[in-house]
Amino acid sequence: MIIDCHGHYTTAPKALELFRKAQIAALTDPKAAARSFKASDDEVRETLVPAQLKLQIERGTDLALFSPGAGRMSHHIGNFETSSEWSRVCNDLIAQVCRIYPKSFVGVCQLPQSPGVEPKTCIPELERCVNELGFIGCNLNPDPSGGYWKDPPLTDRWWYPLYETMVELDVPAMVHVAASCNPNFHGTGAHYINGDTSAFMQFVTSDLFKDFPTLKFIIPHGGGAVPYHWGRYRGLAQDMKRPPLTELLKNVFFDTCVYHQKGVDLLTSVVPVENVLFASEMVGAVKGIDPETGHRFDDTRRYIDGAAHLSETQRDQIFEQNARRVYGRLNKVLAQRGLA
């Protein structure tokens, strides 16, 4: 089985966008009409069959851990109530996807984060998604301000109540920023990657995992800049008398959203294979075809298959076994669906 741990419902029905626009308009215009959102199962099918499902078949991948569009989380908009309503709608839609296509998608939720609001306010939505909707993970935004980085680092006690719930529920978080509203940062080209790099360095400099030995994070986009600068991080940890990075790798994992062969070669030869989870981010950041290969940039399965130094056992770890281990609830969900 090939499990893609990083897929977003970026192709959601147009009505979702209209709902969001109305919600945002209502923030400043009390006369704006409230709008509710509901998609029929057919509408959902129409958005997935020619996109994620088609690409899964073409690429021979089986299952995506599927969450709402990450950029569109835009936690910087409005307040906690705004994010709360928006998260509920988006997560319910993911649950609908998983109900319609139980063999192809497992849910990962968006959290109702809001700048300056304590992360513990996200606990009820996380519990609802895991306990009632059958989700197995969440996306955690290290910067709800959308590019101004105003909240405390992920290693601050500010976040601890949420971590306690994550541990209790046995769900990991993918560290994933949302849209950038800072003109210095292009979203998918800078803010996303910076978020990944920053989170890793926060982990390097803290004792977070002494307090939460079983807490797990996946850093997407191949870990930002981290594997490329692996020597720098090993050296910084050593200079600061921090534990070696291998200690951190009990809790921190990287996905394979790196869109060329040499990048994936580096990732999989620098980071231990046990810490690399297959992912493509499709349909996501880059949609085009690489003229140098004739294949889509985000067809990351080809790069794992093409990494000559990997054994078949190692590929199996990256494609399937690591995800089953890191997402503690995955095996049970798959068994319930007859996909064990």
Out of 68, 119, 142, 146, the only residue in the binding site for a second copy (CB under 8 A) is: 142
**Does residue 39 interact with a second copy by CB under 8 A?**
no
Out of 194, 251, 280, 322, the only residue in the binding site for a second copy (CB under 8 A) is: 194
How far is the C-alpha of 141 from the C-alpha of 211, rounded, in Å? 20
Out of 50, 124, 235, 306, the only residue in the binding site for a second copy (CB under 8 A) is: 235
For residue 79, count other CB atoms closer than 10 A to its CB. Answer: 12
For residue 27, count other CB atoms closer than 10 A to its CB. Answer: 13
Residues in the chain, overall count: 340
**Does residue 201 interact with a second copy by CB under 8 A?**
yes
How far is the C-alpha of 254 from the C-alpha of 226, rounded, in Å? 10
Out of 11, 121, 202, 331, the only residue in the binding site for a second copy (CB under 8 A) is: 202
Out of 60, 231, 294, 338, the only residue in the binding site for a second copy (CB under 8 A) is: 231
**Does residue 234 interact with a second copy by CB under 8 A?**
yes
Q: Of the two residues 23 and 155, which places its CB atom closer to a second copy in the complex?
A: 155
DSSP string for residues in 179-235: ---STT--IIIIIHHHHHHHHHHHHHT--HHHH-TT--EEE-GGGTTTTTTHHHHHH
Residue with the two structure tokens 């939460």: 212
**Does residue 246 interact with a second copy by CB under 8 A?**
no
Where would I find the beta strands (DSSP E) of 21-153? 63-68, 105-110, 137-140
Helix axes 80-100, 14-28, angle to 10 degrees: 170
**Does residue 227 interact with a second copy by CB under 8 A?**
yes
Catalytic residue among 281, 292, 312, 320: 281
How far is the C-alpha of 227 from the C-alpha of 294, rounded, in Å? 26
Out of 25, 205, 316, 337, the only residue in the binding site for a second copy (CB under 8 A) is: 205
For residue 185, count other CB atoms closer than 10 A to its CB. Answer: 20
Half-sphere exposure of residue 212: CA atoms within 13 angstroms, side-chain side: 25
Q: In angstroms, what is the minimal distance from the CB of 145 to a second copy?
A: 10
How far is the C-alpha of 235 from the C-alpha of 112, rounded, in Å? 37
**Does residue 14 interact with a second copy by CB under 8 A?**
no
Out of 204, 248, 283, 330, the only residue in the binding site for a second copy (CB under 8 A) is: 204
**Does residue 157 interact with a second copy by CB under 8 A?**
no
Q: In angstroms, what is the minimal distance from the CB of 253 to a second copy?
A: 17
The question of whether 281 is a catalytic residue gets the answer yes
**Does residue 119 interact with a second copy by CB under 8 A?**
no
Task: Considering only the C-alpha atoms of the chain, give the largest distance between any 2 of them, rounded to a whole number of Å.
Answer: 62
Which residues are CB-contacts of 26 (< 8 A; sequence separation ≥ 6)?
A: 32, 34
Region near a second copy per CB under 8 A, out of 17-25, 88-96, 281-289, 311-319? 281-289
**Does residue 176 interact with a second copy by CB under 8 A?**
no
**Does residue 269 interact with a second copy by CB under 8 A?**
yes
Count of residues of this chain found to bind a second copy when the rule CB under 8 A is applied: 59
- Contact between 55 and 63 under an 8 Å Cβ cutoff? The reply is no
Out of 43, 247, 290, 316, the only residue in the binding site for a second copy (CB under 8 A) is: 290
Active site members? 281
Site of interaction with a second copy (CB under 8 A)? 142-143, 147-149, 151-153, 156, 182-186, 188-190, 193-194, 197-198, 200-202, 204-205, 221-222, 224-225, 227-236, 238-239, 258-260, 262-263, 265-266, 269-270, 285-288, 290-291, 297-298
